[in-house]
Amino acid sequence: MASPDIYNEATHPGPYMLAWNKFKSDHVSWISFCIVLFFVAMALFAPLITPYHPLAQHPQDVLLPPSWSSAGDVRFILGTDDLGRDVFSRLVYGCQITFGLSLLTALAAMLVGTALGALAGMSKGIRASVFNHLLDTILSIPSLLLAIVIVAILGPGLPNTIWAIFLVLIPLFVHRTRQAIQTELKKEYVTAARLDGANNWQILFRSIFPNIVESIILQYTLAVSAAMLDIAALGFLGLGAQQGSPEWGAMLVASIDLIYRASWLTTLPGITMFLCLLSVNAVGHGLRNALKQRSE
């Protein structure tokens, strides 16, 4: 029987679909993306996943090794610490702090930094010069050192740590956005839009932003990694999450004295944080390759 569709029009995927297909074809990036989604699920559903509260103590079950050890207990899959707290529950709740707060802090910095970067990129004269010199001064200071300085001014604690990292990440987005906008302003399609009568804001939102979105997304993945390292580092130094918190950096510093007696208290948070950072960076690398093909 003949097909009623006499106009058999061929459809082709758009540039974003092509980039998504390219990303999925990279097995390392796709596996890393699934791991990142797994950590996101842990951060969102931590109360449903964990068998115990992260601060609940079991004095009769102190320093139990993981359950696969002969001295372990199946009630505590990854063992307990020196106060009898379940390590698995603390790692899952720590995902909310170290990873979840990194995602939110980087997102907030991206929104503010992109807006300021757009203002800087479209500015000229004295205002542009002030932005350039201020950014050069801030970016010359290592992010962790700048975060330590800000925390020293505001005072130790997790809320002040988040504010410090937020302020540290903003200049990175401002610099990346300003640089991308200034590169696009030199291209011919912007000149054509000006000849059609478009003003600066129309050119920015309708012409430039769709062409720099990949640059902003890539900067976001880098910012998440930097935020995770800074939160863990400040927690390790005692300037961020305080002792007893399930934050991964605070868990590491609290277990240093027990590294020979209970090595799992150090290795498990370290492996978890390493796997999370590696996955985020691999996703960023895969996105860079996929979006590069989109722009070609």
In this structure, are residues 36 and 280 in contact, taking their beta carbons and an 8 Å threshold? yes
The conformational region for residue 157 under phi > 0 = left, psi -120 to 50 = alpha, else beta, is: left
User: Three-state SS for 167?
Assistant: helix
Q: For residue 289, count other CB atoms closer than 10 A to its CB.
A: 14
What distance in Å separates the CA atoms of residue 65 and residue 56, rounded to the nearest whole number? 17
Q: Average pLDDT of 82-87?
A: 89
Over residues 13-30, the pLDDT tens digits come to: 666 677 777 778 888 889
Radius of gyration of the chain (CA): 24
pLDDT greater than 70 at residue 34: yes
Q: Is 13 within a domain?
A: no
What distance in Å separates the CA atoms of residue 93 and residue 269, rounded to the nearest whole number? 12
Q: Average pLDDT of 259-272?
A: 89
pLDDT > 90 fraction of the chain, expressed in percent and rounded: 22
Q: Average pLDDT of 268-273?
A: 92
Q: What's the total number of domains in the chain?
A: 1
pLDDT of residue 20: 74
Tokens, residue 67: 């359950």
Q: Is 67 within a domain?
A: yes
Over residues 187-233, the pLDDT tens digits come to: 888 888 787 777 778 888 888 888 888 888 888 998 999 999 999 88
Predicted confidence band of residue 108 (pLDDT cuts 50, 70, 90): very high
- pLDDT top residue among 4 and 151: 151
pLDDT of residue 238: 83
User: Three-state SS for 290?
Assistant: helix
Over residues 184-200, the pLDDT tens digits come to: 888 888 888 787 777 77
pLDDT greater than 90 at residue 255: no
pLDDT of residue 223: 92
pLDDT greater than 90 at residue 38: yes
Q: Is 5 within a domain?
A: no
In this structure, are residues 221 and 172 in contact, taking their beta carbons and an 8 Å threshold? no
pLDDT of residue 33: 92
Over residues 51-73, the pLDDT tens digits come to: 999 988 988 988 888 988 888 88
Q: Give the structural domain span for 239.
A: 28-295
Can you give the length of the chain in residues? 296
Phi, psi of 171 (to 5 degrees): -60, -30
pLDDT of residue 274: 92
Tell the residue number behind the tokens 């997102």, with chain if given: 107
Q: Is 7 within a domain?
A: no
Tell the residue number behind the tokens 């960076």, with chain if given: 281
Q: What is the CATH number of the domain that holds 168?
A: 1.10.3720.10
Q: Is 150 within a domain?
A: yes
pLDDT greater than 70 at residue 42: yes
The pTM (predicted TM-score) of the whole model is 0.86
Predicted confidence band of residue 141 (pLDDT cuts 50, 70, 90): confident
Q: Is 141 within a domain?
A: yes
